[in-house]
């Protein structure tokens, strides 16, 4: 991929991501009546092998959701295994969580976070996007060469439930043509 963001474009994108991720954190915080802390958004270009590195952990469950519209790609949500019971209780799931309830909880969390992130991001850049429902994803069943994201722009932020071991990471993966659309939108935004 020959795509590089200028420092100005990267700063603008990071600020847009900050706002979007803040909206997602607020949506979850209101739902569970707890404080959510956010990391600074990370914006990097990675290849398939680097992309697969984020899955080399047993600390998370993974979900994926594709999106279509003005831009296309996928939102991956990494949900901590630690603290799942805590957040399940905060979301009024009967404890202890059985496998079915746990999967339902993880998919609900992914949909809340990914939906709010993508919606905030799309709204700020006047992009139309439609997000599919999340599905569980087992990266251990995939080889690096089989990942769709052979080279992509990753937009990533971490959510941490204060006072709990639970955290989540949202990763937005954009296709090459969508990266071009994004850069054009950022340039228009920076010209105003």
Maximum Cα interatomic distance, the chain, rounded to a whole number of Å:
53
pLDDT in tens, 110-136: 999 898 888 888 998 999 999 999 999
Look at residue 33 and tell me if it is in a domain: yes
Domain assignment present for residue 161? The answer is: yes
Residue 160 sits in a domain of what CATH number? 3.40.1550.10
Confidence label for 165 from pLDDT (cuts 50, 70 and 90):
confident
pLDDT at site 143: 52
Give one DSSP letter per residue of 102-161, joined into a string.
HHHHHHHHHHHHHHHHHHHHHHHTT--EEEPPPEEE-GGG--GGG-S-SEEEEEEEEEEE
How many structural domains compose the chain? 1
Which range of residues forms the domain containing residue 76? 7-191
Does residue 2 form part of some domain? no
User: Of 172, 164, 171, which Cα lies nearest the Cα of 81?
Assistant: 164
User: Is 63 a domain residue?
Assistant: yes
Q: What is the pTM of this model?
A: 0.86
Considering the chain, what is the average pLDDT of its residues? Answer: 86
- The answer to whether residue 151 sits within a structural domain is yes
Name the more confident of 96 and 162: 96
pLDDT band at 105 (very low <50, low <70, confident <90, very high): very high
Element (H, E) at 180: helix 176-191
Q: Would residue 1 count as lying in a domain?
A: no
For 130-154, write each residue's pLDDT tens digit: 999 999 988 766 554 445 655 577 7
- pLDDT confidence bin for 162, thresholds 50/70/90: confident
For residue 49, is it within any domain? yes
The angle subtended at Cα 61 by Cα 55 and Cα 66, nearest 5°, is 80
How far, in Å, CA of 109 to CA of 28, rounded? 8
């Amino acid at each position: 991929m020959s795509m590089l963001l200028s420092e100005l474009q990267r700063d603008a994108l990071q600020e847009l991501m900050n706002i979007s991720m803040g909206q997602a954190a607020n949506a979850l915080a209101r739902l569970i009546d707890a404080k959510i802390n956010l990391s600074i958004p990370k914006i990097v270009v990675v290849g398939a092998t680097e992309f697969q590195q984020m899955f080399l952990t047993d600390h998370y469950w993974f979900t994926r959701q594709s999106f279509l519209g003005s831009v296309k790609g996928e939102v991956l949500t990494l949900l901590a295994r630690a603290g799942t019971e805590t957040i399940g209780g905060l979301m009024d799931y009967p404890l202890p969580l059985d496998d079915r309830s746990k999967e339902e909880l993880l998919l609900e969390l992914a949909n809340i976070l990914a939906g709010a992130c993508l919606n905030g991001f799309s709204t700020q850049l006047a992009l139309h996007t439609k997000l599919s429902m999340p599905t569980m994803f087992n990266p251990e069943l995939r080889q690096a060469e089989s990942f769709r994201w052979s080279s992509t722009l990753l937009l990533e932020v971490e959510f941490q439930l204060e006072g709990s071991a639970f955290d989540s990471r949202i990763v937005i993966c954009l296709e090459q043509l969508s990266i071009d659309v994004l850069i054009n939108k950022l340039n228009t935004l920076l010209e105003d």
